[in-house]
A and B are shown apart, each in its own frame.
Chain A
């Protein structure tokens, strides 16, 4: 089996003709920025792809990615595996897995996890395996998000892993009427105040913060991106893909979105040695929700708040909708983040424009149709 040419791992059919200048200038910085190779190496210095055997980097440690089979995990794995050893853990199978990625299809809470830490010399853990699905029971979400994560943290302290990157989200701050327009990293995490199902996500963020203080030997990074959209299947992307998305009558908050690949790049930047702390991640600018929906090609259906709430509750009960009615608060109040810390300390800059982001969101809609 010949390795595919490294830049060409997307299906050619999925690629629509795109204006050249819109594309981000490099896929370069992420992969080669990891673990101390600060500057991207010039194209000529890269060895030619060979049959199967790749030159290994000097660092021996592997990067453990939990939840690698999600859309974000796959993107991250593709960015990392050319320069780093990547070990993936997920309950799901990893179908189109590059050959040099080691994948364990296990439950994160199982004992086997400890064996991976013992035998694989893990140098960094990227925790993406967070259960967001609001349909799952409270018990399962708690056991997966909290108990599982606690076990992971135990192994990390036991085997002295020097790096932890946790992907939290801006929704742990929660949309509130009294939010400042831009939330900094110090803002209180009130996401569960009106939306009980957020409780475990807030707690997960808190656990990571606790680990940050308890284990100064480990560089802990918590990333809190705003709504991640793109070809992922999450609430924000699914909402933008709707033909007739609902809007709450009389409310039109400012919204931030960020492209999934920008988040992957931020994770790559967070993996560099010396980086620690909490970082908000923001996309290429904020705009009113109505503008965003119209740009995404949807025709908003404006519904009074109490009607929307009652209807969503019923639809949720009948399993006709995947949006719990508490998420309507995102359509009413602002929940935007200030990313100045990520810009200065992490060197993060969003590269995908809003048009490009929405094109990626829409592309999936037409494929599904």
Chain B
């Protein structure tokens, strides 16, 4: 603040700044965040603010998104995601123009202990799709119990995964990212890499109920970012986490994920028809169709790639 310059009293300006509104912490976040956004724009060569401005949300009467999406926070997140997307993981995106306009469910395989696959799909939708699609993803319920995460996730457009929320968002013609494998998929050990686990049935019922197209996505490269050799179940239960992966690289001090090369393959959309309250067996057929499509896309992608890091 201006007051700091003239005063000889230490921290006098700091107090005044508190009363004038913005806390120093918030100011620091803002200045660092702006710098990150500028850096990302230089590196990526895209106008991120224009991308954020280009998305359509459904604000309520007081101008807030009812699910808590905050463009200001998302700006910083998008800058970080863009750096990961373009530089760190050097993602290659195939077939993003297959995403239809309007409501859509993006169904992908889940991998890699930490959900970088969701981050990269989201940044592909924001940076590579024209016009930019603002993705919402459905997160585990227990994230709403975690301090800070429970504040951050809604601000980035993440929604607690309940069928009511999904229905409401699809009726608003939004784009949802769904990982039907859930926690089972993300915490796979290294020996099971690229083998899809059981899919839940809920996403197909949801698509039938709201007549939403399903776009299958194969994510390649996630399984090698954090190779996990075991799942330490008792500790997971103690910490109330879905899984506790044992990752050797963390013991060697490598906390960041390995810089594998990601490849995202977007498939042709499925347009299912039928009764959403059908028997499980009838729904399972449709789920199987989606799952086998993703598996074959994954297999093809694995065959085509030359190496994990190139």
Residues of chain A touching chain B, judged by Cβ–Cβ distance below 8 Å, are 177-182, 184, 248-254, 284-288, 291, 304-305, 332-333, 336, 353-354
Contact = CB atoms under 8 A, between A and B. Distances in A.
Contacts of B68: 254, 288
Given A181-B66, A181-B67, A284-B61, A248 B164 contact: no
The interface size bin for chain B is 20 to 34
Contacts of A284: 61-62
Most B C-beta atoms less than 10 A away, residue of A181, A305, A332, A353: A181
A291 B151 contact: no
B168 A182 contact: yes
B31 interface: no
A291 B64 contact: yes
5 contacts: A177-B145, A181-B164, A284-B61, A305-B147, A354-B62
A291 B155 CA distance: 13
Nearest to B66: A286
Interface of B: 60-64, 66-68, 70, 141-142, 144-151, 154, 159-160, 162-165, 168
Given A250-B151, A251-B150, A254-B66, A286 B60 contact: yes
Given A284-B62, A285-B64, A287-B64, A181 B159 contact: yes
Given A179-B162, A353-B62, 20 more contacts: A177-B160, A178-B162, A179-B160, A180-B163, A180-B168, A181-B66, A181-B67, A181-B159, A181-B160, A181-B164, A181-B165, A249-B148, A250-B149, A253-B150, A284-B62, A285-B64, A286-B64, A286-B66, A288-B64, A336-B66
B200 to A, nearest CB: 16
Contact of B154 (A179, A254, A287, A354): A254
Given A180-B165, A181-B67, A333 B60 contact: no
A205 to B, nearest CB: 20
B144 A333 contact: yes
A89 B226 CA distance: 68
A150 to B, nearest CB: 33
User: What 7 A-B pairs have minimum CB-CB distances, sorted nearest first?
Assistant: A250-B147, A180-B164, A285-B62, A177-B144, A285-B61, A250-B148, A285-B60
Contacts of B162: 178-180
A252 B150 CA distance: 8
B60 A180 contact: no
A305 B67 CA distance: 23
A332 B154 CA distance: 13
Contacts of A181: 66-67, 159-160, 164-165, 168
Nearest to A183: B164
Nearest to A295: B62
A37 to B, nearest CB: 29
Given A254-B68, A285-B61, A286-B60, A178 B141 contact: yes
Contacts of A291: 64
B150 A250 contact: yes
A182 B142 contact: no
Nearest to B150: A251
Contacts of A285: 60-64
B164 A177 contact: no
Contact of A252 (B61, B151, B160): B151
